[in-house]
Chains A and B, each alone.
Chain A
Amino acid sequence: AQSVAQPEDQVNVAEGNPLTVKCTYSVSGNPYLFWYVQYPNRGLQFLLKYITGDNLVKGSYGFEAEFNKSQTSFHLKKPSALVSDSALYFCAVRDIGTGGFKTIFGAGTRLFVKA
């Protein structure tokens, strides 16, 4: 069965500093990996995805993520955090080996960026 782990409930970072939000996954086959962001009382918004190819993927709002197959990780990064980046971030995996219909989400990591 596929699963996603986000080991940190919360990440605190100062504005202008780099940020990393961690994610590890487990699937039986090859994964599609995604990052989403959620603002209060709203649905999730797509940030970026890894399907195949270059292990470093770039997405919206200056975010990027690095796929590491040996460590089964897909950490979200941004070189310089903004206060407006404060939100709830979700890592998600879709197992294409089982039909690719289901996307499973991690528990979420709350990011606080302090001015």
Chain B
Amino acid sequence: SQTIHQWPATLVQPVGSPLSLECTVEGTSNPNLYWYRQAAGRGLQLLFYSVGIGQISSEVPQNLSASRPQDRQFILSSKKLLLSDSGFYLCAWTQSGGNSPLHFGNGTRLTVT
């Protein structure tokens, strides 16, 4: 069966520090990968998605970037965090080319102080 791992679960970082959140998927190949941000426990904002290694689509211009160095690895990064980067970050995957649902990791709660 497929599983998705996302870490760390919680993170407190000072303004101006770098960020790296990692997500890996097991038990499938060539998944579509996604990063969402959830603010204040409500709606999800799509940040990035990837349909293959090295292929990144950005949905919202901001202080963040994403990379996909391996087929089942998706990384969210920032060079210098802003207070507004605080939130709940969710990684998700779905099978490519079909109508399958998204499968989410347990999320990372980022607090920028």
Binding site for B on A (CB under 8 A): 32, 34, 36, 41-46, 49, 51, 88, 90, 92, 94, 96, 100-108
On whether the beta carbons of A104 and B46 are closer than 8 Å, the reply is: yes
Complexed CA–CA distance, A45 and B105 (Å): 9
In the complex, chain A residues whose CB is within 8 Å of the CB of B107: 41-43
CB <8 Å contact, A107 and B104: no
B47 to A: closest C-beta gap in Å: 11
A105 contacts which of B44, B51, B57, B109 (Cβ < 8 Å)?
Answer: B44
Closest B residue, CB atoms, query A108: B42
| Beta-carbon contact of A107 and B42 below 8 Å | yes
Q: Known pairs A41-B107, A100-B99, A101-B49. 8 more at Cβ < 8 A?
A: A41-B88, A44-B44, A44-B90, A101-B32, A102-B46, A102-B49, A103-B94, A107-B42
**Contacting pair A51 B102 (CB below 8 A):** no
**How far in angstroms is the closest Cβ of chain A from B48?**
11
Q: Which residues of B contact A (CB under 8 A)?
A: 6, 32, 34, 36, 41-44, 46, 49, 51, 57, 59, 88, 90, 92, 94, 97, 99, 101-107, 109
A96 to B42, CA, bound (A): 25
Are the C-beta atoms of B46 and A44 separated by less than 8 Å? no
Contacts of B106 in A (CB 8 A): 41-43
User: Which of A41, A49, A108 contacts B99, CB < 8 Å?
Assistant: A49
Q: A32 near B44 (CB under 8 angstroms)?
A: no
CB distance from A60 to the nearest CB of B (A): 11
Q: B103–A46 contact, CB under 8 A?
A: yes
